[in-house]
Amino acid sequence: MVDTTLIREHMPVVDCNGQPIGTVDHLDAGRLKLTRDEQGRHHYLPLSEVSMVDEEKITAQLTRDEALRLMQGGAQGEHTES
């Protein structure tokens, strides 16, 4: 389990290869709520998919493509919000 006390608003979220996924808006019920995308929607990334949090960024255990599919596909009750 990651140390959620290190998670701050506007922290970058990167994939397992260091590629950007998004920026944290805030924590929401065990998920990272990311800032709105170009279409004005928030996306959520489950904390279970986070492998590491340090002082500068949050690293997911997924690739960018996997994370985007999860956040857009509604897997396991995760969904986007208008």
Range of the domain at 41: 22-77
Instruction: Tell me if 40 is assigned to some domain.
Output: yes
Tokens of 18: 């260091």
Instruction: Tell me if 82 is assigned to some domain.
Output: no
Instruction: Tell me if 4 is assigned to some domain.
Output: no
Instruction: Tell me if 49 is assigned to some domain.
Output: yes
Tokens of 74: 């509604």
pLDDT digits (tens, 9 = 90+) for 1-42: 789 999 999 999 999 999 999 999 999 989 999 999 889 999
How far, in Å, CA of 9 to CA of 72, rounded? 21
Instruction: Tell me if 11 is assigned to some domain.
Output: no
User: What's this model's pTM, rounded to 2 decimal places?
Assistant: 0.85
Pick the more confident residue, 78 or 41. 41
Instruction: Tell me if 45 is assigned to some domain.
Output: yes
Q: Which residues contact residue 57 at a Cβ distance below 8 angstroms, ignoring those fewer than 6 apart? A: 11, 12, 13, 14
Over 60: is that where the pLDDT of 76 sits? no
Instruction: Tell me if 26 is assigned to some domain.
Output: yes
pLDDT digits (tens, 9 = 90+) for 35-67: 998 899 999 999 999 999 999 999 999 999 999
Handedness of CA 39, 20, 63, 16 (dihedral sign): negative
Structural domains in the chain (count): 1
pLDDT at 13: 98
pLDDT band of residue 75 (cuts 50, 70, 90) is very low
Instruction: Tell me if 12 is assigned to some domain.
Output: no
How far, in Å, CA of 56 to CA of 69, rounded? 25
